[in-house]
Structure 1
Amino acid sequence: MRIMLSLAFVVAGAVSAQAGPVSFETGWQEQRLSLFSSNAYGFGETLTLVSEGSVSIAWTRLARENWGSRGASWSWRVDQSVPPTDLSVKGGDDRNISLYFVFVPETLAPGLEGAGIRSLLGNADVRIIQYAWGGNHATGQVIPSPYGPPGQGVTIALRQAGTGAFDENVDLAADYARAFGGAPGALIGLAVSGDSDDTRSVIRAALGNLVLR
């Protein structure tokens, strides 16, 4: 199932170096990727998701004090898991939970104000890093997305398919350089997804304590 994001977020002005905790209580919206497929999200102190043979994303805009973020940490838990898959295969890349970081060049960010949620599809200037819990890949492997324009997005495998609870800490700037080369631009948005439609399996997962720095 097509799971690469095409999101637009309200942005304006210069990138700030400040960052901090990200709330899951307000500002998040679900975006269906199929008319007949939707996950169940719960928004509160943590973001919970249940995916039963389905796929969708929950996304949020970021306030301008977060645009300059170059690192992130979070906690996540999986209580019921999809089977291992190959995250490089279009239509066969189910995963338990993914956290997306959406970047655009700083000089282009003001021009995206008011754009629709799907308006970045095909935009060659957008870069997306997706950290995934799922698949059968080595930890830290950078996997080109099989969706969207070539070079627009990558998946970085953090955990193979299975259950448990873990804390993560990532260097966005270093991972961006590995994936795309150069330095990231403005971090304008985040998204969380669960994807179980190809394997017709069930996911029960949660993500919390998300901090940008």
Structure 2
Amino acid sequence: MRLPISAALLAIMTSAAAAGPVSFSNGWAEQRLSLFSSNDYSFGSRLGLVSEGSVSIAWTRVGDADWNSSGASWSWTVDESVPATDLARKGGDDRNISLYFVFVPQSEAAGLKGKGIRSLLGNKNVRIIQYAWGGNVARGSVIASPYGPAGQGVTIALRSAGTGSHNERVDLAADYARAFGGEKGALVGLAVSGDSDDTKSVIRASIGNLALR
């Protein structure tokens, strides 16, 4: 990973996801983390990605009707996998596919609606949960992000590196409390990434049926 993940995610908070089930057909944009590195994304009923020794993020905003979401579910598939890596190691934490949930305090959400990078960078109150398919640790392990300000982001491991198809269901409120303490704020953004730049490997994966509740 070449840039702090929090900065990259916040840099493109300009479009909005529909309330309820999340569409992968529109409203998403790619954010590069390196000038010479980019994944290939396909948008439709599912979001597909191919990562060949590269890393980048596909991002969308969450509409205010879903700011109070406390849970999520989705399905994802990996057809070609990176090797298992150390998800806590900066510059060595490749993973097949990750789904990010970006929170801000409820009191700040309305004021940040539609704001760009200049209004968001340096906001010490932003919190990011990343659910990852990669590494080789126990399901549910909470790993502090090695990027960005300490305490701002965590990775929660759901699947070890490898191929297959799985359905997931997570409790955002409970996981937020485990990761950061206290009550979660407003869910204002979602992102999907694939990361294979450190191992120079190949990822072929997809995610779909994403719903907030």
Letter in 2 for 1:161: A
Q: CA deviation at 1:4?
A: 2.0
8 Å CA contact retained: 1:72, 1:169: yes
Report the number of matched residues. 207
Letter in 2 for 1:4: I
Q: CA deviation at 1:124?
A: 1.1
Separation in structure 1 between the aligned mates of residue 104 and residue 75 of structure 2, nearest angstrom: 26
Residue 107 of structure 1 aligns to a residue in which SS? helix
Separation in structure 2 between the aligned mates of residue 202 and residue 116 of structure 1, nearest angstrom: 32
8 Å CA contact retained: 1:122, 1:148: no
- Return structure 1 stretches of 4+ with deviation > 6 angstroms: none
Separation in structure 2 between the aligned mates of residue 118 and residue 202 of structure 1, nearest angstrom: 34
Question: How well do the aligned residues superpose, as a CA RMSD in angstroms?
Answer: 1.7
8 Å CA contact retained: 2:75, 2:167: yes
1:145–1:42 Cα change, 3 Å: same
Q: Is 1:186 aligned with 2:189?
A: no
Separation in structure 2 between the aligned mates of residue 153 and residue 76 of structure 1, nearest angstrom: 22
Separation in structure 2 between the aligned mates of residue 171 and residue 131 of structure 1, nearest angstrom: 11
Letter in 1 for 2:168: E
What is residue 52 of structure 1 aligned with on the other side? 52
Letter in 1 for 2:101: F
1:34–1:45 Cα change, 3 Å: same
Further displaced range: 137-146 or 120-129: 120-129
Q: Is 1:102 aligned with 2:83?
A: no
1:94–1:211 Cα change, 3 Å: same
Q: CA deviation at 1:207?
A: 0.1
Q: CA deviation at 1:119?
A: 5.4
1:32–1:178 Cα change, 3 Å: same
8 Å CA contact retained: 1:121, 1:148: no
Q: Percent identity, please.
A: 74
Residue 6 of structure 2 aligns to a residue in which SS? coil
1:51–1:10 Cα change, 3 Å: closer
Further displaced range: 43-52 or 61-70: 61-70
Residue 100 of structure 1 aligns to a residue in which SS? strand
What is residue 211 of structure 2 aligned with on the other side? 211
Residue 110 of structure 1 aligns to a residue in which SS? helix
- Where do 5+ consecutive residues of structure 1 fail to align? 12-18
8 Å CA contact retained: 2:112, 2:120: no
What is residue 6 of structure 2 aligned with on the other side? 5
C-alpha distance after superposition, 1:177-197 (max 9, x if no partner): 000001101000100000000
- Where do 5+ consecutive residues of structure 2 fail to align? none
Letter in 2 for 1:50: V
Q: Per residue, is there more helix in 1 or in 2?
A: 2
1:81–1:117 Cα change, 3 Å: farther
Further displaced range: 127-136 or 115-124: 115-124
What is residue 157 of structure 1 aligned with on the other side? 157
What is residue 147 of structure 2 aligned with on the other side? 147
1:167–1:86 Cα change, 3 Å: same
Separation in structure 1 between the aligned mates of residue 145 and residue 118 of structure 2, nearest angstrom: 17
Separation in structure 2 between the aligned mates of residue 198 and residue 119 of structure 1, nearest angstrom: 31
Q: CA deviation at 1:41?
A: 0.2
C-alpha distance after superposition, 1:49-84 (max 9, x if no partner): 000000000000111111000000000000000000
- Relative to the length of structure 1, the TM-score reads 0.93
What is residue 82 of structure 2 aligned with on the other side? 82
Residue 108 of structure 1 aligns to a residue in which SS? helix
Further displaced range: 116-125 or 28-37: 116-125
